[in-house]
């Protein structure tokens, strides 16, 4: 067996997805060795701290240490509490400086991939810097890609060195497929999709006659008061845990709008998030700056039950259902509720599956359809891992 190609990694964000990624990396050791690749983790950060291998050129976190990090984060502990002779800990103000130092050291020598599994908008600075320094970047985090046009342009300035499959539809091969279509000169003229496991689930449940407030509340309280425990558990598995902290990021449509923006920019549209027409499931006066999560759930949401119930009934009279979809066409990008035939691919969608329809020259009458689980830490982390393996040829 030839020597393994080593891909040095720094992981930013080791909550749900990041932690799952570390577990996948450990459990895929022999599979990846068969593919001729070894993933060498040299640094891991959470929001407040960064742990780095004692020598980033030659050392790495061994699998015991990676498992220890996973245990720590499963307990919601800070990385800074990690005790090991194999790594150094950097805090707060030292964190960013150390990250750019590593990028600078490895970017042009052994190569380095920065993997962003955080949900932070603050990683964009180190990511653009890493790109400039010759590093690859792999993102599950949507926020850097949905920042300003200037930031976006910098991030994608070396298109072969960036992958971000898991920002849209988790591990579903959406970005990879679009990149294939685009690079073959087949112009994409329309994308329609249901890209939120959360909203997919909510719209299915509401379609079955359940009040919106109960669907959301029951989901959030993990089904203590709800008989449909299996549905709730599926939901729990399918959605991002951030939903349980702030359900409004999903219900506002903002999460879908970010995904739509990523797709629209991939198609070459020069737009920002505020160019997207977004329909929120709740009115402004129930927004996070005005109402607490508790008030939103207990008094805000119930006020919306009748309206959404009425829309569901009206649609049903026409043989239609309501779906929360994104539409990208020409220079237009919108996200919101649409009334669709019950018997269309989007109308048939149940639960938390995502679906994307791509129309192009090659797929003109009938679209190219990609459908499947579009959320969940396992699937999302698997998409990140596939992205990392996909850039292996850029490493020496």
The residues annotated as belonging to the active site are 259
Placement of tokens 């971000």 in the chain: 164
Residues near a second copy (CB under 8 A), total: 46
183 makes contact with a second copy (CB under 8 A): yes
Strands 188-194, 320-329: parallel, antiparallel or unpaired by DSSP? antiparallel
269 makes contact with a second copy (CB under 8 A): no
Report the b/e string of 149-165 with b at 16+ CB within 10 A.
eebbebbbeeeebbbbb
Least distance CB 278 / a second copy (angstroms): 27
379 makes contact with a second copy (CB under 8 A): yes
Per-residue interface string for the shown chain with a second copy, residues 33-62, x marking contact by CB under 8 A: --x---------------------------
| Residues in contact with 138: Cβ distance below 8 Å, sequence separation at least 6, in sequence order | 113, 114, 115, 116, 162, 163, 164, 384, 387, 388, 391
200 vs 253, beta carbon nearer a second copy: 200
227 vs 268, beta carbon nearer a second copy: 268
Sole binder of a second copy in the list 173, 223, 309, 341 (CB under 8 A): 173
49 vs 141, beta carbon nearer a second copy: 141
Name residues contacting a second copy, limited to 62-121 (CB under 8 A).
none
* Pair 352, 200: CB distance under 8 Å: yes
Sole binder of a second copy in the list 87, 195, 328, 373 (CB under 8 A): 373
Enclosing H/E stretch for 54 = none
How many alpha carbons lie under 13 Å from residue 205 in its C-beta half-sphere?
Answer: 28
DSSP code at position 58: T
The interaxial angle of helices 174-183 and 254-266, nearest 10 deg, is 20
Least distance CB 93 / a second copy (angstroms): 35
392 makes contact with a second copy (CB under 8 A): yes
277 vs 350, beta carbon nearer a second copy: 350
Q: What are phi and psi of 227, to 5 degrees?
A: -70, -30
How many alpha carbons lie under 13 Å from residue 100 in its C-beta half-sphere?
Answer: 11
Sole binder of a second copy in the list 13, 107, 171, 253 (CB under 8 A): 171
**How far is the C-alpha of 334 from the C-alpha of 368, rounded, in Å?**
20
* Pair 172, 375: CB distance under 8 Å: no
Other beta carbons within 10 angstroms of residue 382's beta carbon come to 19
386 makes contact with a second copy (CB under 8 A): yes
372 makes contact with a second copy (CB under 8 A): yes
394 makes contact with a second copy (CB under 8 A): yes
Least distance CB 286 / a second copy (angstroms): 33
Least distance CB 180 / a second copy (angstroms): 4
Name residues contacting a second copy, limited to 7-26 (CB under 8 A).
24
Name residues contacting a second copy, limited to 299-358 (CB under 8 A).
351, 353
Choose the binding region for a second copy from 31-39, 88-96, 294-302, 319-327 (rule: CB under 8 A).
31-39
Choose the binding region for a second copy from 28-36, 67-75, 140-148, 282-290 (rule: CB under 8 A).
28-36
Least distance CB 175 / a second copy (angstroms): 11
Least distance CB 105 / a second copy (angstroms): 22
When computed from its CA atoms, the radius of gyration of the chain, rounded to whole angstroms, is 22
Sole binder of a second copy in the list 4, 176, 254, 273 (CB under 8 A): 176
197 makes contact with a second copy (CB under 8 A): no
383 makes contact with a second copy (CB under 8 A): yes
**How far is the C-alpha of 35 from the C-alpha of 112, rounded, in Å?**
19
Q: What contacts 24+ positions apart, CB below 8 Å, involve 144-148?
A: 144/116, 145/258, 145/261, 145/262, 145/265, 146/258, 146/261, 146/262, 146/273, 147/121, 148/272
Structural tokens at position 146: 């949905």
List interacting residues with a second copy (CB under 8 A). Answer: 24, 27-28, 31-32, 35, 159-160, 165, 171-173, 176-177, 180-181, 183-186, 351, 353, 361-363, 366-373, 376, 378-379, 382-383, 385-386, 389-394
């Amino acid at each position: 067996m030839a020597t393994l190609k080593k891909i040095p990694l720094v992981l930013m964000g080791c909550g749900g997805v990041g932690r799952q990624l570390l577990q996948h990396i450990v459990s895929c050791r022999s599979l990846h060795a068969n593919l001729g690749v070894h993933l060498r983790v040299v640094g891991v950060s959470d929001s407040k701290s960064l742990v780095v291998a004692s020598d980033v050129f030659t050392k790495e976190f061994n699998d015991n240490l990676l498992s220890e990090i996973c245990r720590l984060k499963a307990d919601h502990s800070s990385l800074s509490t990690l005790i090991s002779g194999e790594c150094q800990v950097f805090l707060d103000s030292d964190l960013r400086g150390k990250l750019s130092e590593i990028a600078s050291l490895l970017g042009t020598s052994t190569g380095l991939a920065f993997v962003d599994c955080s949900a932070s908008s603050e990683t964009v600075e180190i990511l653009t810097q890493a790109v400039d320094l010759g590093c690859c970047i792999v993102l599950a985090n949507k926020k850097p890609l949905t920042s300003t046009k200037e930031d976006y342009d910098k991030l994608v300035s070396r298109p072969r060195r960036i992958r971000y499959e898991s920002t849209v539809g988790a591990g579903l091969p959406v970005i990879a497929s679009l990149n294939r279509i685009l690079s073959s000169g087949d112009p994409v003229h329309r994308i329609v999709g249901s890209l939120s496991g959360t909203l997919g689930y909510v719209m299915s449940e509401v379609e079955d006659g359940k009040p919106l407030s109960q669907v959301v509340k029951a989901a959030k309280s993990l089904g203590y008061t709800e008989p449909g425990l299996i549905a709730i558990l599926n939901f729990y598995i399918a959605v991002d845990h951030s939903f349980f902290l702030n359900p409004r990021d999903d219900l506002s449509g903002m999460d879908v709008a970010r995904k739509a923006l990523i797709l629209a920019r991939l198609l070459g549209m020069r737009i920002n998030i505020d160019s997207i027409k977004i329909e929120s499931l709740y009115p402004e006066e129930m927004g996070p700056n005005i109402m607490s999560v508790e008030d939103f759930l207990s008094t805000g949401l119930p006020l919306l039950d009748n309206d959404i119930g009425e829309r569901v009934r009206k649609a049903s009279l026409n043989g239609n259902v309501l779906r929360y979809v994104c539409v990208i066409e020409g220079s237009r990008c919108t996200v919101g509720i649409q009334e669709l035939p019950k018997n269309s691919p989007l109308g048939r969608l149940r639960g938390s599956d995502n679906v994307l329809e791509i129309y192009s020259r090659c797929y003109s009458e009938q679209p190219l359809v990609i459908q499947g689980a579009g959320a969940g830490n396992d699937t999302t982390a698997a998409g990140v891992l596939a992205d990392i393996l996909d850039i292996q040829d850029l490493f020496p």
